[in-house]
Structures are given as C-alpha cells and as structure tokens.
Amino acid sequence: MAEVSVSIDVSDMEKAILFYTKALGCTELRVGEDTTKLSADNVSIFLLKKEPKSNPLITGTSSRNYERHWTPVHLDFNVSEIEKTVSLVKDFGGVNEGSESGDWGAVEFCADPFGNGFCLCQINS
C-alpha cells in the first residue's frame, strides 16, 4: 500500500509552522527554508513555500493566490476539544466559517491563514 502525505502551499513558512503546530497540534519533524515536514499522528504534512501569483501548473496559466479558495479535496483534523481548537485556529490567523452537528458529533468549517480550507471534526463514539 502507498503511504499518503499532504502538501500545503503557503506564502510565509514561519506563520504556517506556528499555525499548524500551535493551532492544530502537528509535530515539527524537519524545518527548511522552502519545505517543512510536519506530522499529524500518522500523516506527513509538507509545508511548501510558494510565492503568490506563481504558476502552480506545468501547463496552463493559473496563478497561486492565498485568498480563501475552494477545492474538493481538503483535510479533516479529528480533535477531542473542538471549541478549544476553533479558538486556537482563530488565535493563529485562521478563520471559522460555520458548523454542523448531530448525534454523530460536530464539524467546524475553517481555513488557514493562506486560504486553504479544512474541517475540525469531533465524532461521537
């Protein structure tokens, strides 16, 4: 089976490291100027410093922007204290955009300081 890792483009490595380690509890494994490796339990997360307006495609004319954007693929962080984690997300420059809950648990829809969306999930056992 293949090992899965996640890469996240960011414009400010120091701010990204603080956000993902302090707000979301990731562990710093290796820090570099343009690439930092974090761990979230058993998933490797690579923060990749990329300049705004640079082209992310080999072919095409798209450009990176760090305003809030949507993609059908996103991260879910399963947390035990969802309200506390939402507070930390806001404290470290992220945003909370709404929530849903039910007998299954709760989800908070968030974005990091670079516009990348993710969910905080607290699932009832």
Hey, what are 86's tokens? Answer: 């939402």
Full-model pTM: 0.91
The answer to the question of residue 90 being in a domain is yes
Domain carrying residue 46: 5-51+67-123
The predicted pLDDT at position 111 comes to: 97
How deeply is 41 buried, as exposed, middle or buried, from its count of CB atoms within 10 A (0-12, 13-18, 19+)? exposed
Across the range 118-124, mean pLDDT stands at: 95
Across the range 82-108, mean pLDDT stands at: 97
Four-residue CA torsion sign, 113, 118, 122, 125: negative
In whole angstroms, what is the distance from residue 112 CA to residue 20 CA? 9
- Strands 43-49, 75-78: pairing is unpaired
CA dist list (Å): 7 to 3, 13, 37, 50, 87: 13, 13, 9, 11, 24
The predicted pLDDT at position 84 comes to: 97
The answer to the question of residue 17 being in a domain is yes
| pLDDT category of residue 125 using cuts at 50, 70 and 90 | confident
The answer to the question of residue 106 being in a domain is yes
The answer to the question of residue 59 being in a domain is no
The predicted pLDDT at position 12 comes to: 97
Across the range 109-122, mean pLDDT stands at: 97
Element (H, E) at 50: none
CATH of the domain at 26: 3.10.180.10
The predicted pLDDT at position 4 comes to: 87
The pLDDT > 70 percentage for the chain reads: 100
The answer to the question of residue 56 being in a domain is no
pLDDT digits (tens, 9 = 90+) for 41-76: 989 999 999 999 998 888 888 899 999 998 889 999
The answer to the question of residue 87 being in a domain is yes
